[in-house]
Structure 1
Amino acid sequence: MLAHDRPVTRAWVLHPELKNDQNRRAAEPALAEGLALAAALPDLDVIGGTIVRLPKIQPGKLFGKGKIAELKQVFHDAEIELVLIDGPVTPVQQRNLEKEWGVKLLDRTGLILEIFSDRARTSEGVLQVEMAALSYQRTRLVRAWTHLERQRGGLGFVGGPGETQIEADRRAIDEQLNRLRKQLAKVVKTRELHRASRAKVPFPIVALVGYTNAGKSTLFNRLTGAEVFAKDMLFATLDPTMRKIVLPTGDEIIMSDTVGFISDLPTELVAAFRATLEEVLDADLIVHVRDISHEQTEEQAQDVRAILQSLGVADEAPIIEVWNKTDLLEGDARDAVLTQAARMDDLYAISAVTGEGLDTLLAAIPDKLKDPRSEEKLTLTFAEGRKRAWLFDAGIVTDEVQTETGYDLTVFWTQLQKERFVRL
């Protein structure tokens, strides 16, 4: 982890491009994203960045001797203290490169963990980051220095040579992970109670999702009047925020702003933030916000769809796509985006900054929330007054007859309303 006791650390970003990797991202935008990730940490002074094209990965040092020597000179001349590699680095490669260059080194996973650690605010977010960091650290104990080769424990009178330091360190991490899991379980239970209480509110939930820095929080703030931290910076929002808003039609909804997605999200973080992202599963409508001005907007959209699929969001889930940042487009490019959005269903071109296109988007949301309805008979006891009140608040009761034991009701509701009622 980064040391935070110094005001500024001079950093350099490297993006390795493996020539025979068919799934590699375009190098220039990938380096730009790596630089933006580094810039998201307040105590880093990012001096520069380099694309390093690799014929093949060297197992021990990632790069070849010539490139290592060339970069060593660059880092020396620029007085670099931290090198950020935009990709995976094995523990052995990390140890060897740090030794060669005389710098601290972080890979993409380590950098994203640092950003999340710096930004997490809620108790759940902080716990999830700690768990992700420990899981990451556990896999890297092999990079240990000489002290990890020591043996400890036992005087040698009984059994084997005792416990190695690396085993002890790993066991200590596992114990800490178990403690954090128990703490997180309590927090998640509280979160489930909050979700259950929201289920009692008959308002539909609309979740904003999208690649990091797509403008979700800016859109959220403009629509809700909230003051969620919104900045032209990767991972400006980590903890989900929810607000009730009234649409121009008079319909009321709850809007949720979620953590931004990113390509090659560390597996530790996918697991740790699953509970946060599962807010999306509760949504009645998902609004996929895209930065349409970004040159990699289609690739970013594919990453978002892949993560939604991994979360279990079904293909048939109601999703609309919002092409944001039209204010950054000019001429033919802008005209083409506006024309395409006008022609296609469930596609809206907007600018969250200027407000352009928001009226059209807001007018479309109620129609997307109006699922097919069906009539159903329900029987409630007198003790189930809370459920009865919820049905009336939702405005879906068409008939009611009081009986000796309770009520016979006829409701006209959507499948989502039925599912929410069952969870009460």
Structure 2
Amino acid sequence: MTINTEHIKAFVRKYYHYLGINKQQEISRLLFEIAKRERIDYTKVTESLPKPPTRFSKIKDYLLERRYPSLAVAGQGIRPALFDVAIDPKLKMDVALKPQIQPKNLFIEDSVFHTEMANRVRTHFPESTVERIKTYKEHVGKRRFGIEDYNRRLENFYLVREDYDFFKKCPCSSKSVFCGYFVVNLGSGCPYECSYCVLQDYINSPGIILPANIEDFFAAFRNLGRNIRCGSCELTDSLAFDHITGYSPQIVAFFRSYPKTMYELKTKSDNVGLLTSVPGARNVIVSWSLNPQKIVEAVEHFTAPLAQRLAAAQRCVASGYRVAFHFDPVIYYQGWEADYEALVDMTFQAVDAENVAWISLGALRMTPRLKKIIENRFPDNTLLDEEFFVGHDGKLRYPKDVRIFLYKKMTSWIRRHGKDVPVYLCMEEKSMRLE
């Protein structure tokens, strides 16, 4: 249902004019979230509000108990993020029709214009307008890019020379356990529209950025002089553009010579044609982020269906690769247990535990700013209707007891199939333990 936030704020200004702006903002935020969560008009909520000029604390207590019923019943302290609510209909993302990856413009830096990869991309998109630029940085200048630019990101592809971010430590959340992972930025931007995706908040770019100098990444690895666990999945999907870049066979060939380093290709696609065209290397791990199909359909727009992801995993195992799975984010909702237990069973029916390199678990979380973006791009979402509070790292998270419950259940289902498969938590606080 569509909720007019301006009507809510006008109501609050009129009837609670004696309160300050910040207090009015908190009331408006809670009215909006309650109306959305309960699928009712906000006026139905206001009917039960204490009448003005009631003290703010009494109004807020009523709204908090209604918005966070389980926390209120449990007697837990509530620390929500009650920032301003503002929904701009122009920012809504249209997910009715899957877009074709067919950029209007190819911007190619001078230094990579004649590289093999740039030639490959130009051939792949013969109808795109090609513009030669000095550098990406100079081309975009100091402009900040917003949600409207992000919604149109597939219109512009930038082929660049990467000079800095070759291998860097995973930017784990503050006060979270470091996972020991190194990220390889072989691209920025993703063609998929997962409602919860952090890239909506993280990327400041008018398009998809693809480095065209993979040989420099290989040279940077040689200079590291040590074995690591790494992967190209921080700022993009590792395989979504693989048929365009042609990078996966080169990655496999290179890391085959470094068997003590683990290189991960993480994806929500089934785009494994190039990858399975070459013999697999046991230290190149192909991984999938998995959710029940009903979640895929509801919030992981344009990604491969669950069955196709698992079929792609089977193809990779048959080609000699090991695989991994990320149940992240695990999304809490009524009936989640049956769906996720079935998901774990389906996963191990598709792939034997002996071919699974690792599994990660992580509950849905987001920054307050990302929550505002989700509200604007996907105003009909139900992800945000659960009870979130400000966690150890400033992100909005499910209550700790809920997360413990999620992880214990998921781990028990995994252990039924793979007692020795490594399982770890992603971006969780140090006090959280699996077993």
Please, what TM-score do these two structures have when normalized by structure 2? 0.28
Q: Relative CO higher for 1 or 2, CA cutoff 8 Å, sep ≥ 6?
A: 2
Quick check: which has more Rg, 1 or 2?
Answer: 1
Please, what TM-score do these two structures have when normalized by structure 1? 0.28
Identify the structure with the greater strand proportion: 1
